[in-house]
C-alpha cells in the first residue's frame, strides 16, 4: 500500500490521481469533502500531522509514502516520520525544494526544508528527496487580475526562474514510489527553460488570444500582497527568495527529470495551454 499526504494540494493531488488510476492507494486528508480523487482502489484516511493516532491508523500496512508538509518552522515532518517508523514503513518520498541544495539560499523556508530533509535522512527509513524549482502553477494567482483587467502584477518581472510543472514533479514522485532504485537519491527538478513573469505573461496572452500587460510591483507592494496570506516571517523569506531570483540564481535547468522519466519536462507554454480555462 502507498500513502499519499497533501492529496488535496497541488502536487499530492496529481500523485494521488495517477496512483488511483493504476491500483490501490491510501490518501491522508483532513477534510474528505475537499478530495477530488476517486477510484475503486482509493482508501481515505482522515487525519492530520498533529494527531499521532490518526497517522498510525493511516500508515498501517503502508510500504511507501509521499510526504508534503507546509508549515515553515513547524514539526510536521518529525511527527509524520515518528509514526512512519512505528508503522514499519519502508520508504518515504519527500517534497522539498530546489533551494535546499543551494549554499547561498538562507531564508526561513529553505532552512526549514533542509532540517526536514535531515530528519528524513536520519530516520532510518529509505528516502528520496524531490527538490523542485518554483511551481508553474504559482501563476494561477494571476488568474483574477487577468480575467478582470488583463494585467499581471509581479515583483522583479524580468527575472527568470526555471519553473517546473507540478505534473512533472508528481510523475517523478510516482516513479520513486512504485519502482526500485530511487532510495537515497536527491532529485532536483526544473522545467526545460528559465522564464520571467514578463515571458509568462506573453505565453498566457498567446494562449488566451488577448493582449495582457505585466506591471512591476515594488518589494513593498509584493510584501503587502503576501502578508494577506502568510505570517511576517514567511513574507520575509519570500522577499529574500525573490532577491535571489533577481540576481539570476534560479535560471539553471537540470537534466534529472529527463534522466528519471525518459522524456523532457513540460514547458511553461504547455502548462499555460493546459490551464487556459483558469484564466479565460
Ligand X SMILES: NC(=O)c1ccc[n+]([C@@H]2O[C@H](COP(=O)([O-])OP(=O)(O)OC[C@H]3O[C@@H](n4cnc5c(N)ncnc54)[C@H](OP(=O)(O)O)[C@@H]3O)[C@@H](O)[C@H]2O)c1
Contacting positions for ligand X (CB under 6 A): 5-12, 30-31, 34, 48-50, 68-70, 95, 97, 109, 113, 132, 134-135, 138
Cβ nearer to ligand X, comparing 111 with 185: 111
Q: Which residue is nearest to ligand X (CB)?
A: 9
Cβ 143 to ligand X, closest distance in Å? 15
Cβ 200 to ligand X, closest distance in Å? 13
Rounded Cα distance between 69 and 11, Å, is: 11
Please name the residues in contact with 134: beta carbons below 8 A apart, sequence gap of 6 or more: 161, 163, 164, 250
Rounded Cα distance between 66 and 2, Å, is: 8
Cβ nearer to ligand X, comparing 46 with 270: 46
Cβ nearer to ligand X, comparing 49 with 257: 49
Cβ nearer to ligand X, comparing 16 with 64: 16
Cβ 113 to ligand X, closest distance in Å? 6
Rounded Cα distance between 251 and 261, Å, is: 22
Cβ 18 to ligand X, closest distance in Å? 14
Please name the residues in contact with 198: beta carbons below 8 A apart, sequence gap of 6 or more: 157, 158, 214
Cell of 25: 492507494
Cβ 252 to ligand X, closest distance in Å? 15
Cβ nearer to ligand X, comparing 214 with 234: 234
Concatenate the DSSP letters of all residues of 205-258 into one string.
HHHHTS--EEEEEPHHHHHHHHHTTS-HHHHHHHHHHHHHHHTTTT----SHHH
Cell of 164: 517546473
Task: Please count the CA atoms within 13 angstroms of the CA of 202 that sit on its side-chain side.
Answer: 6
Cβ 135 to ligand X, closest distance in Å? 4
Cβ nearer to ligand X, comparing 35 with 150: 35
Cβ 48 to ligand X, closest distance in Å? 4
| SS3 assignment for 137-184 | HHHHHHHHHHHHHCEEEEECCCCEECCECHHHHHHHHHHHHHCCCCCC
Cβ nearer to ligand X, comparing 52 with 150: 52
Amino acid at each position: 500500500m502507498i500513502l499519499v499526504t497533501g492529496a488535496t494540494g497541488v502536487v499530492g493531488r496529481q500523485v494521488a490521481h495517477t496512483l488511483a488510476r493504476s491500483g490501490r492507494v491510501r490518501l491522508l486528508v483532513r477534510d474528505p469533502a475537499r478530495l477530488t480523487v476517486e477510484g475503486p482502489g482509493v482508501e481515505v484516511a482522515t487525519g492530520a500531522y498533529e494527531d499521532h493516532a490518526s497517522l498510525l491508523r493511516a500508515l498501517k500496512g503502508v510500504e511507501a509514502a509521499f510526504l508534503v508538509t507546509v508549515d515553515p518552522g513547524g514539526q510536521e515532518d518529525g511527527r509524520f516520520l515518528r509514526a512512519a517508523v512505528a508503522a514499519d514503513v519502508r520508504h518515504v518520498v519527500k517534497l522539498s525544494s530546489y533551494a535546499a541544495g543551494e549554499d547561498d539560499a538562507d531564508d526561513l523556508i529553505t532552512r526549514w526544508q533542509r532540517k526536514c530533509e535531515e530528519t528524513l535522512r536520519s530516520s532510518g527509513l529509505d528516502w528520496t528527496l524531490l527538490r523542485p524549482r518554483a511551481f508553474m502553477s504559482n501563476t494561477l494567482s494571476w488568474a483574477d487580475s487577468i480575467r478582470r483587467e488583463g494585467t499581471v502584477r509581479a515583483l522583479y518581472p524580468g527575472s527568470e526562474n526555471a519553473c517546473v510543472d507540478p505534473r512533472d514533479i508528481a510523475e517523478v514522485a510516482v516513479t520513486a514510489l512504485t519502482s526500485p532504485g530511487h532510495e537515497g537519491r536527491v532529485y532536483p527538478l526544473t522545467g526545460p527553460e528559465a522564464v520571467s513573469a514578463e515571458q509568462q505573461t506573453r505565453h498566457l496572452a498567446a494562449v488566451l488570444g488577448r493582449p495582457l500587460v505585466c506591471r512591476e510591483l515594488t518589494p513593498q507592494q509584493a510584501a503587502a500582497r503576501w502578508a494577506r496570506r502568510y505570517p511576517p516571517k514567511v513574507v520575509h523569506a519570500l522577499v529574500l527568495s525573490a532577491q535571489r531570483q533577481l540576481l539570476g540564481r534560479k535560471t539553471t535547468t537540470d537534466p534529472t527529470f529527463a534522466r528519471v522519466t525518459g522524456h523532457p519536462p513540460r514547458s511553461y507554454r504547455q502548462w499555460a495551454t493546459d490551464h487556459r480555462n483558469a484564466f479565460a
